[in-house]
Amino acid sequence: MKHLKNNSNIADSHQPCVLIHARIEASAEWSGRLRVYVLLAPHLQVGGWGNSAQQIQLMGKDILLAWKDSTHLAMDVDVGFVKTSCGYVGASDGWQDLRDNFQMDWQFSRIEDGNIALIGQIDLTKHKQFTLGLSFGDTRHAAVSALAQSLSAPFAEHRTRYIEQWRRVCSGVANLDKFSGDGGRLYRISHGLLLAHEDKTFAGAFIASASIPWGEARGDEDLGGYNWSGIAIWSTAPRGFWLVTIQLLHSGRSSISLAHSARTAVSPKTSGSMAHLTGVASSSMRSLFL
Query: Of all helices (H) and strands (E), which one includes residue 199?
Result: none
Helix, coil or strand: residue 238:
helix
- Output the CA angle 16-62-11, nearest 5 degrees: 20
Query: Of all helices (H) and strands (E), which one includes residue 2?
Result: strand 2-11
DSSP secondary-structure letter at 227?
Answer: -
pLDDT at position 64 is 96
pLDDT at position 221 is 65
Helix, coil or strand: residue 187:
helix
pLDDT at position 59 is 81
Which residues are bridge partners to 76 per DSSP? 133
Q: What are phi and psi of 287, to 5 degrees?
A: -65, -25
Which residues are bridge partners to 260 per DSSP? none
Q: Enumerate domains of the chain plus CATH numbers.
A: 2-158 (2.70.98.10), 176-289 (no CATH)
pLDDT tens-digit profile, the chain (290 residues): 456 566 889 999 899 999 999 998 877 777 777 889 999 999 998 888 999 999 998 888 899 999 999 999 999 999 999 999 999 999 999 899 999 888 899 999 999 999 999 999 999 888 889 999 999 999 999 999 999 999 999 999 999 999 999 888 888 788 888 888 898 888 888 888 888 877 777 777 777 666 555 555 566 666 554 444 434 444 445 566 667 777 777 777 666 555 555 555 445 555 544 444 433 333 333 333 33
pLDDT at position 243 is 74
State the number of CA atoms in the 13 A half-sphere of 232 facing the CB: 14
Q: How far apart are CA 257 and CA 288, in angstroms?
A: 8
Q: How far apart are CA 200 and CA 62, in angstroms?
A: 30
Q: What are phi and psi of 228, to 5 degrees?
A: -70, -35
pTM of the model: 0.76
pLDDT at position 208 is 66
